[in-house]
Amino acid sequence: MKLTKRTIDSTVYQGTNNARYVLWDDEVPGFGCRIFPSGAKSFVLSYRVAGRKRMMTIGTYGVLTLDQARKAARAELAKVETEGSDPLADREKERRGETLADLCAAYLDRHASTKKTGQEDQRRINKHILPRWGALKVKALTREDVAKLHAKIGATAHYEANRVVNLLSTMFDLARRWGFVSQDHPNPARDITLFKETKRDRWLTPAELPRLAEAIDQEANAIARAALWLYLLTGARKSELLAARWDRVDWDRGELKLDDTKNGKVFYVPLSGPALALLRSIPRVAGNPYILPGRGPRTANAAEKAQTASHLINIEKPWARVKTAATLAAWREDPRAAALIDRLTEAYARTQHRNAPKKFTPTPPLDAIRAAAAAEGLELPPAIDDVRLHDLRRTVGSWLAQSGNSLHLIGKVLNHSDTKTTAIYARFGEDSVRAALEQHGARIMDVAGFAPTIVAPESVPNDPQDRQSDSSGDQ
């Protein structure tokens, strides 16, 4: 029969044991009105897709009119007939909705795992994205949301803020490809005004290096100590050096072969005499192929350790200790600063022993020392705690440039694939250029046997015609 409003209004539930009871419509195939034991009524649509019988609710009777429900039913049937889609599955997917946590998991598994910077992506996701939006639906993220996060991170770290926006932009480009959002869904990380970035220009000066070298030698972790020295001696990238293996060392040629480099090419690191001597001093761990071995499972037997052999991973903590020690050494060269540090250390030690004996550290945080010095109007000597691990690589490049080496050679040493990257060391070579010209000038004067006559200001021609004749003669 053809459903009418009167028929629906007058019909009551006639099923048994809560069985489904539907008044079917002859006008639209599969369309009907379901009546519940409670008296509630809803429009439904029954259809088949891929051989499976499906039933979905169109809407509640009373909220939708019969004509509106028929129109909606026809539209859903058209999708089944023309697109082969499953309206109920689409609705369930829409209702469930993938969250940002789902997209992040897919990104890390399907994309970041193939990138050399995948660990950095995971760190930013865990630190900035998941805590803030992990439960949010992918479709719900807006450009305003991204802009606010960008501004928040950028208050203290411009570079990090920009990288998070770039990461989100890539994730949403892939979200369209992977079906998390529709093809026409706007990318919320686009059109965000990024912070202006300046190239980091930090390297160790000859005055800083002795303090840092002494601090490195005082580091208790022998493997981390060796790693830091190798960074200074080779200029290798952090991850590439940590993953270096003993079987890649050519002792005769004095080379270390790196198979998995940032530019995707095999690279041979020349090993200087000090670097080779350092490598020979590093004890080898049975069953572990890495030059800088990690601890591995503490309770595993020898066989298990061999199967789970890994390289050193966490070098940030030893590096932080080294920087702190070097900075304190620099500050203690000022007697007033040394006295201040001693007072603070004594008070801090008493507090540490009383409240946190298991986490005892011998000196207060550097920021606490800075604050105390500022309160007393004491200006501390320059610190070294702002030096990053990557700055050791910059130190190699800058020192090579200052020694007069060409940018091409520096690029070869640091395995740069883009000459623009090496160009940042150009200004470090100015001192060697100046020294060369000084030597040239001294030789000219020596051979000439006299110094040039200094031109007095009154002897400079004032007549434009004189200047013209001078310039034409110069041509």
Concatenated DSSP letters of 59-110: EEBTTB-HHHHHHHHHHHHHHHHHH---HHHHHHHHHH--BHHHHHHHHHHH
Instruction: Give the distance from CA 351 to its chain's centroid.
Output: 37
Give the CATH superfamily of 209-296+307-316: Intergrase catalytic core (1.10.443.10)
Helical axes 158-178 vs 143-154, angle rounded to 10°: 150
- Whole-number pLDDT of residue 461: 53
Instruction: Give the distance from CA 213 to its chain's centroid.
Output: 28
For CATH 3.30.160.390, list the domain ranges present in the chain: 5-96
Architecture of domain 5-96: 2-Layer Sandwich (3.30)
- CB atoms under 10 Å from CB of 466, counted, come to 11
89 within 8 A of 102, measured Cβ to Cβ = no
One-letter amino acid at 283 equals: P
Q: Which structure tokens are listed for 200?
A: 């980091």
Q: For residue range 445-475, what is the model confidence (pLDDT) as tens digits?
A: 777 777 666 655 555 455 545 444 444 444 4
Flag whether pLDDT at 422 surpasses 90: no
Q: For 175-184, 208-217, 289-298, 454-463, which range has the lowest pLDDT when averaged over its residues? A: 454-463
Work out the average pLDDT over 245-251.
94
Buried/exposed code over 65-77 (b: 16+ C-beta within 10 A; e: otherwise): ebeebbebbeebb
Architecture of domain 100-178: Orthogonal Bundle (1.10)
| Cα maximum dimension of the chain | 124
For CATH 1.10.150, list the domain ranges present in the chain: 100-178
For CATH 1.10.443.10, list the domain ranges present in the chain: 209-296+307-316
- Whole-number pLDDT of residue 441: 73
Show the CA angle centred on residue 255, arms to residues 214 and 210, nearest 5°: 15
- Whole-number pLDDT of residue 407: 79
- Whole-number pLDDT of residue 323: 94
